[in-house]
Amino acid sequence: LIIASNFKTNHNRKSTKEFIDFINSKNYFSEVRIYPPFTALNHFELTSNIRVGAQNFYPTQKGSFTGEIGFEQLEEFEVDTVLIGHSERRHILGEAQESICKKYDFAKAKECEIVYCVGEPKEVREQGIEAVMSYIWEQFNGIDIDYEKLVVAYEPVWAIGTGLSASLGDIEEVLERLRAKIKAPLLYGGSVKVETTKDILSIKNCGGILVGTASWNVENFSKMIEISDNI
């Protein structure tokens, strides 16, 4: 199972190092992914199943893109896993499918693991599962779903950072429909908490969780990994 923490715009260099050193010291079996802010990337001494990645990047090796981070800067820290398509980038930062595809193709050419995030807004969820799936399939336009280092994260927009998680039945239904076409591991994300981790990880076709808010506390994140280790 994959247990991933998206720090978003939280933690600094020092607290990230403390967080990662703590997780590293535990020798967990689960596949752990941690996505800190760019400024906290570092040469971490990681055990083999822990990987530190990037929440974003500009699809270039290097160049003149003021304020952006390219792959040369990520490679300095051996980053080999990235988030693409997160709802905050789609909806708050205005990232369109076209630029998401450019990032996807670039990371794929770099043979980097891609955690590709998809999920519907509230008004689409209210229209039922068919509307949800057609919205989600559009988010796969231009995306190579057969890429061998793809991980898909189903994250309903209305559940991210809101404290409202999708129901177990709703998650199961979406994962089952994704599984019909996609062989990559399927994660769920959206207000996962320590208390809900076990039930979510037990859903059929669920290959792990992508967690924001509840993961920023290292004890909570550790508890989630322990739950996963025991499943």
Q: How many residues does the chain have?
A: 231
**Sites for ligand PEP among residues 212-231 (CB under 6 A):** 212-214
The rounded distance, in Å, linking the Cα atoms of 167 and 156 is: 11
195 as an active site residue: the answer is no
Nearest to residue 18, comparing CAs of 36, 4, 32?
36
Q: In the stretch 143-162, what mask flags binding to ligand PEP with x, by CB under 6 A? A: ------------x----xx-
In the numeric block, the tokens 């089952």 are attached to 176
Furthest CA-CA distance within the chain = 47
Structure tokens at 167: 């129901």
Residues contacting residue 45 through CB under 8 Å, at least 6 positions apart: 24
- Nearest approach, Cβ of residue 225 and ligand PEP (Å): 15
The only residue of 20, 54, 211, 225 in contact with ligand PEP, by rule CB under 6 A: 211
**Sites for ligand PEP among residues 187-206 (CB under 6 A):** 189-192
C-beta of 70 vs 203, nearer to ligand PEP: 203
CA 38 to chain centre: 15
C-beta of 53 vs 189, nearer to ligand PEP: 189
The rounded distance, in Å, linking the Cα atoms of 73 and 132 is: 37
C-beta of 37 vs 161, nearer to ligand PEP: 161
88 as an active site residue: the answer is no
**Sites for ligand PEP among residues 2-31 (CB under 6 A):** 6
- Binding site residues, ligand PEP, CB under 6 A: 6, 155, 160-161, 189-192, 210-214
Q: What is the set of active-site residues?
A: 86, 155
